[in-house]
Amino acid sequence: MTDESEIAGPVSPEIEREAAQRASYRAKAARWDLDVAVFFFAILTIVIILLFQGIGYEIVATVAGLGLALGWLMGWRKGKQQYESFYQEELTELQRELERKKKPEEAMIEETIDKKVREAMRQRWEKWR
Please answer whether residues 99 and 14 qualify as being in contact, where contact means their C-beta atoms are separated by less than 8 angstroms. Answer: no
Q: The pTM is what?
A: 0.53
Instruction: Give per-residue pLDDT as tens, 21-34.
Output: 888 888 877 777 78
Positive or negative, the Cα torsion across 53, 58, 61, 65? negative
Q: How confident is the model at residue 10 (pLDDT cuts 50, 70, 90)?
A: low
pLDDT of residue 98: 79
- Domain assignment present for residue 126? The answer is no
Q: Would you say residue 1 lies in a domain? A: no
Domain count, the chain: 1
Specify if 3 maps to a domain: no
- So what's the pLDDT on residue 100? 74
Q: What pLDDT score was predicted for residue 32?
A: 75
Average pLDDT score, the chain: 80
The domain of 59 spans 11-99
- Tell me whether residue 4 is in a domain: no
